A and B are shown apart, each in its own frame.
Chain A
Amino acid sequence: MDLGADQQKTSLEVGDGGAFQFLGVGKSFFGVPVLKDVTLTLRPGTVLGLVGENGAGKSTLMNVMGGVLRPDTGRMLLGGASYAPAGPEDARGAGIGFIHQELNLFSNLSVAENMFIESFPTLGRIPAIDRRRMAAGTREHLAQIGLDISPSALVETLSPGERQLVEIAKGLAMSPRIFIFDEPTTSLTAKETRQLFDIIRTLRARGTSIIYISHILGHVAELADEVAVLRNGELVADGPAAEYPIPRMIASMVGRDLKSMFPPKASQPQPEVLLRVEGLSQAGIVRDIELTVHKGEIVGLFGLMGSGRTELARMIFGVDRYERGTVRVGDALLPRGNPRAAIERGMSFVTENRREEGLLMNVSIADNIGLVALPEFARPITGYLRRRRLQEATDEKARELRIKAGSYEEQPAKSLSGGNQQKVVLAKWLLAAPRILLVDEPTRGIDVGAKYEVYTIIGELARRGSGVLYVSSELEELLAVADRILVMNRGEIVGRFERNEFAEERVMRAAFRHGEGVRA
């Protein structure tokens, strides 16, 4: 490991101004170019912020660098020398560490086993794992990032944030000279995010070059020395971070000036109550929740991670059980734990986790969209589907939401970018024309342009008279979109703000009232 550090220094000195260079790199999938002639230099000992909309080619570029994909054209230089990895092992061998967006840990193995899965220490010649050395090494790596967990703990028992940190510790273990972070903060708490930033700064100070990819432009602005922007597979801008404040990043990303990040407010609350929740409680999760959603109203539900927002939405919809309290749609009492009944009364739920809960990944876009509204397209008695009519309706929805795809009937949902997947989830529920829409983090992990469209869609729905309960951890968007904001903290609603009382600081203070880090 020490040897690696020495090598690192020499090669950095040899490299002519670049720790890593892409020279005219191009890549196509099925004839569709996803990277076009990208030329980009990563300087030694700096953090390069890489931004771009979903589907702009960031992940592809990094997969090329990490040896997961091979470029069709162009070449790469590592420390001035030609670099053409045949696989991820080669990239690792060359000192390139990669933290993927989705976690690559094995939940059935221990933390230590995950750390050493690629090269277990063995007892001399016997091919048996030297557990003591493995545990010691793991402890050392965990200490580096200040994570206090047992090396023998199974990964499945860790929180999402801890898992992410383990993944990072694993990456650090091979003391890479270049480190790629792809959306590393999505599952971290605020505190863990700080911790990660400190680690990144320490690495940079040691001379490691870092590529940092994120949709959270604030984080990019905070960390990066240089910024590079990809759009539709092309490098459209790059330069010192100082020259790229957030508005300029956005402008480069979307290729047009978004006048603002949010559409004008369209919803207009009316007196009629659509959803009434009274005294909802479930031990350890939520306590005495009271809330109403009016016709045409968007109610924001804000809270930090672990405040119980998602759990509450799930209970209202009937996916999770609750011990006490009632949920009424109009005047009708909703039975507990029965999502079907909720759907029948016109309630829809767009979940936070679109990959696992919201979408059938291998099924076509059109079929996904049609899923919830299917009964409405069935012929009476026989139950046969009116295929033509269904297809027209799904097509219309898909076009209305501007889902970017070659063919709605043929293309599976998994082939879409994150933002477009989210639009498919929305389209599915919108086709059922919900009276009440519950949305949970509808804009998480999607790009600025798609976010704008999601806001527009939800606003339009409210304008047409639906009630929306909008769960989010991004206060900014709630301030812009909601008519009212409820703040949750440790399973209770601790603050209620009317639109004329909206002030970021006051809402935040309510959310943090009991001190930060419920899940620390």
Chain B
Amino acid sequence: MKLMETRASRAILRNTTGILFVLVFLIFGMLARNFLTLTNLQVVLSNSSYIGIITVGMTFVLLVGGIDLSVGSIMYLSAVATSLVVNDLELSPWLGVVACLGVGLVFGAFNAFAVTKLGIVPFVATLVTMIAGRGLGLLVTQSVQLDFPDSITLLATVRLGGVQLNILIYALVVAAAALFLIRTPWGRRIYAVGNDPEAARKAGLKVQRIIASTYVISGVCAALGGFVSIAQIGRVPASFGRNSEFDAIAAAVLGGVSLFGGVGTVFPGALLGTVMIRVIQAGLVARNVDIYIQPIIMGAIIFFAVLLDALRNLQLKKLGRRNIMKLET
């Protein structure tokens, strides 16, 4: 009896993401008739792509037990850089992409430096980047909205094999990140560091470098996510990317990535989490829910996801300990 209960609760705790995902789909499938169609699915995926890419980067940081609050500001900064290259210097859109990713790399590297070399708590280090980064971007733009030429926006219309480019990019990022995390030594060591940094240090792993790499990856992902979004909407207001950090963290946590580090996956975890968030957001809009109530509902969902994470952490610890009479029963 006890054993079965234990097994069952363990199984549920390990698969919260899948269960939530099915629930969300069922609920919204019932609420909106034409929800579960192929076109709609494409729309959801397409809308998920930019925040999804950012969530992938966020997952890396969360896996080592860190957090990156600066992704929204990095999005904005890289959009500003792209605009400088494409609009002001009138250079090729490809150089715009390079500038965009370059900015992500630089600010990701700054976060990495602040966290690993200066020993600043990730929350504060990335909070500083978030605030100062946004300020720097606004200083350049003077809060004026940026508009992008067709050379950029046409990218969003490109289809390969009938699939939109942004979905393809998202798929590529997810696949590359998942393979990296599951199959490469560096990826496995990211999990090791998140599980027990002290033990990782003793095992001779380059803990600081591993942690640093996750912030750089997160910065680049944020920039790439930003670019995908620019291509889709073609203009960048001063609020571009604001609150994206919360969407990304919520998506990752809903996807089963633990804030305690060491637990979670990009595929299926973070992917499902992102789609879930998007489905909920789209559903709220489609059902004409009061726009002042929407953030409350989103907040509640994030709270719920983080609560689940805490409970899971606690419960798994307990279950791990209580296995004494396992062999007997």
Q: A108–B327 Cα gap in the complex (Å)?
A: 22
Residues of B within 8 A of A (CB): 1-3, 179, 183-186, 188-189, 191-192, 194-196, 199-205, 262-263, 316, 320, 323-325, 327-329
Q: A371–B191 Cα gap in the complex (Å)?
A: 36
Of the candidates A122, A283, A490, the one whose C-beta lies within 8 Å of that of B185 is A122
Closest to A130 in B: B183
Q: With A284-B3, A306-B324 as given contacts, are A68 and B262 in contact (CB-CB < 8 Å)? A: no
Of the candidates B185, B200, B323, the one whose C-beta lies within 8 Å of that of A159 is B323
Within the complex, the shortest CB–CB distance from A29 to chain B, in Å, comes to 17
* Chain B CB within 8 A of A128 CB: yes
Closest to A90 in B: B204
Interface residues of A in 87-112 (CB under 8 A from B): 87-89, 92, 100, 103-109
Q: With A108-B262, A306-B325, A308-B324 as given contacts, are A92 and B204 in contact (CB-CB < 8 Å)? A: yes
Closest to B201 in A: A88
Interface of chain A, helix or strand or loop or mixed? Answer: loop
Q: With A129-B184, A156-B320 as given contacts, are A89 and B327 in contact (CB-CB < 8 Å)? A: no
CB-based contact B328/A490 at 8 Å: yes
Q: A415–B328 Cα gap in the complex (Å)?
A: 40
What are the 7 closest A-B residue pairs judged by CB atoms, nearest first?
A104-B199, A120-B185, A89-B204, A284-B2, A106-B195, A106-B192, A128-B183
CB-based contact A88/B203 at 8 Å: yes
Q: A87–B203 Cα gap in the complex (Å)?
A: 10
Within the complex, the shortest CB–CB distance from B213 to chain A, in Å, comes to 13
Interface residues of A in 266-322 (CB under 8 A from B): 282-285, 306, 308, 311
9 A-B pairs, CB-CB below 8 angstroms? A107-B196, A107-B320, A117-B205, A128-B179, A156-B320, A282-B2, A284-B1, A518-B328, A519-B324
CB-based contact B325/A491 at 8 Å: yes
Task: Give the A-B contact count at a CB cut-off of 8 A.
Answer: 86
CB-based contact B328/A285 at 8 Å: no
CB-based contact B328/A284 at 8 Å: yes
Q: A105–B186 Cα gap in the complex (Å)?
A: 17
CB-based contact B327/A519 at 8 Å: yes
Interface residues of A in 486-519 (CB under 8 A from B): 490-491, 518-519
Q: A106–B196 Cα gap in the complex (Å)?
A: 7
Q: With A105-B199, A283-B2 as given contacts, are A127 and B324 in contact (CB-CB < 8 Å)? A: no
12 extra A-B contacts, CB within 8 A, seeds A113-B188, A122-B185, A283-B1 = A106-B195, A106-B199, A107-B195, A107-B320, A108-B194, A109-B195, A120-B185, A156-B316, A285-B2, A285-B325, A519-B324, A520-B327
Within the complex, the shortest CB–CB distance from A368 to chain B, in Å, comes to 22
CB-based contact B203/A104 at 8 Å: yes
Closest to A159 in B: B323
Q: A89–B324 Cα gap in the complex (Å)?
A: 36
* Chain B CB within 8 A of A6 CB: no
Closest to A104 in B: B199
Within the complex, the shortest CB–CB distance from A284 to chain B, in Å, comes to 4
* Chain B CB within 8 A of A2 CB: no
Interface residues of A in 111-159 (CB under 8 A from B): 113, 117-118, 120, 122, 127-129, 156, 159
Residues of A within 8 A of B (CB): 68, 87-89, 92, 100, 103-109, 113, 117-118, 120, 122, 127-129, 156, 159, 282-285, 306, 308, 311, 490-491, 518-520
Of B184, B194, B316, most A-chain CB atoms within 10 Å: B184
CB-based contact B202/A104 at 8 Å: yes
Q: A87–B195 Cα gap in the complex (Å)?
A: 21
Q: With A106-B196, A107-B320, A308-B324 as given contacts, are A117 and B203 in contact (CB-CB < 8 Å)? A: yes
Q: A283–B3 Cα gap in the complex (Å)?
A: 9
Residues of A within 8 A of B184 (CB): 127-129
Closest to A307 in B: B324
Within the complex, the shortest CB–CB distance from B73 to chain A, in Å, comes to 31
Q: A473–B189 Cα gap in the complex (Å)?
A: 38
Q: A249–B186 Cα gap in the complex (Å)?
A: 46
CB-based contact A118/B328 at 8 Å: no
Within the complex, the shortest CB–CB distance from A373 to chain B, in Å, comes to 27
Within the complex, the shortest CB–CB distance from B141 to chain A, in Å, comes to 40
Within the complex, the shortest CB–CB distance from A337 to chain B, in Å, comes to 14
Closest to A66 in B: B202
Residues of A within 8 A of B199 (CB): 103-106
Q: A87–B183 Cα gap in the complex (Å)?
A: 27
Residues of A within 8 A of B179 (CB): 128
Residues of B within 8 A of A308 (CB): 324-325
Of the candidates A92, A117, A122, A520, the one whose C-beta lies within 8 Å of that of B192 is A117
Residues of A within 8 A of B3 (CB): 284
CB-based contact B195/A88 at 8 Å: no
Residues of A within 8 A of B189 (CB): 117
Q: A118–B320 Cα gap in the complex (Å)?
A: 26
Q: With A104-B196, A106-B192, A129-B183 as given contacts, are A118 and B205 in contact (CB-CB < 8 Å)? A: yes
CB-based contact B191/A129 at 8 Å: no
Q: With A284-B2, A284-B328 as given contacts, are A129 and B185 in contact (CB-CB < 8 Å)? A: yes
Closest to B206 in A: A89
Residues of A within 8 A of B185 (CB): 120, 122, 127, 129
Closest to A284 in B: B2
Within the complex, the shortest CB–CB distance from B19 to chain A, in Å, comes to 21
Q: A284–B262 Cα gap in the complex (Å)?
A: 31
Q: A103–B192 Cα gap in the complex (Å)?
A: 13
Within the complex, the shortest CB–CB distance from B269 to chain A, in Å, comes to 13
CB-based contact A120/B328 at 8 Å: no
Residues of A within 8 A of B195 (CB): 106-109
Residues of A within 8 A of B203 (CB): 88, 104, 117-118
Of the candidates A107, A122, A129, A311, the one whose C-beta lies within 8 Å of that of B324 is A311
Within the complex, the shortest CB–CB distance from B198 to chain A, in Å, comes to 8
Residues of B within 8 A of A518 (CB): 325, 327-328
Closest to B189 in A: A117
CB-based contact B205/A120 at 8 Å: no
Residues of B within 8 A of A87 (CB): 204
Residues of B within 8 A of A285 (CB): 2, 324-325
Q: A490–B324 Cα gap in the complex (Å)?
A: 10
CB-based contact A127/B316 at 8 Å: no
Residues of B within 8 A of A284 (CB): 1-3, 325, 328-329
Q: A339–B320 Cα gap in the complex (Å)?
A: 22
Q: A518–B323 Cα gap in the complex (Å)?
A: 12
Q: A244–B161 Cα gap in the complex (Å)?
A: 80
Within the complex, the shortest CB–CB distance from B118 to chain A, in Å, comes to 22
CB-based contact B320/A109 at 8 Å: no
Residues of B within 8 A of A159 (CB): 323
Of the candidates A89, A106, A122, A520, the one whose C-beta lies within 8 Å of that of B191 is A106
Closest to A113 in B: B188
Q: With A283-B1, A518-B328 as given contacts, are A109 and B188 in contact (CB-CB < 8 Å)? A: yes
Residues of B within 8 A of A92 (CB): 204
Within the complex, the shortest CB–CB distance from B193 to chain A, in Å, comes to 9
Q: A109–B182 Cα gap in the complex (Å)?
A: 11
Q: A266–B202 Cα gap in the complex (Å)?
A: 46
Residues of B within 8 A of A100 (CB): 202
Residues of B within 8 A of A120 (CB): 185, 188
